[in-house]
Amino acid sequence: MDKIITSRYNSPCGELLLGSYGDRLCMCDWQSGRHHDIVSGRLRRMLHTGFEDGLSDVIEMAIMQLDGYFAGKRRIFDVPLLFAGTDFQKRVWYELSVVPYGRTISYGELATMIGMPKAVRAVANANAANAISIFAPCHRVIGADRSLTGYGGGLDAKKYLLNLERQPETCCRLQEEHPNGYQKL
């Protein structure tokens, strides 16, 4: 049975635990707060496996892309992802991955994107359960009044990421258009 291979990543705004299962990234999770225990437990249950420290090709690719992102040189990620959750959660997380770099949306806008405009609370809960932060950029979701709301890495990390993405464009890679009008990351 495959294990979830994990490796720590020290970002400029907090420590992340990267995890791969098979040939896909299943975790990029903040190590602070209770969020990590919830995410780890869900991954363990859904994938029917445990964790093992180490490196994999996928984790090395994720580290390289995170380094580029934090250096302001990468806006698009192409690491293969494995979303472990309910069908509803996976739908929300997929839509998160197409919110353009440097933009924010509200939970209500995200609910509308998935065709369920009245499911704002359910969308907020799915967003909070995201195990693959940054790659599925839940930091780009803010309150309806445009205020910052809770974040697994803490509000300081969320502010850092949003400010990083507001820096003048330093990357010239083109983004593909997504069918709903957002650009695919």
Strands 14-21 and 24-30: antiparallel
CA proximity to 140, closest of 27, 149, 77:
149
| 26 in active site | no
SS3 string, the chain, reads CCCEEEEEEEECCEEEEEEEECCEEEEEEECCCCHHHHHHHHHHHHHCCCEEECCCHHHHHHHHHHHHHHCCCCCCCCCCECCCCCHHHHHHHHHHCCCCCCCCEEHHHHHHHCCCCCCHHHHHHHHHCCCECCCCCHHHEECCCCCCCCCCCCHHHHHHHHHHHCCCCCCCCCCEECCCCCEEC
Q: Which of 13, 26, 28, 138 is catalytic?
A: 138
Question: Active-site residues: which are they?
Answer: 138
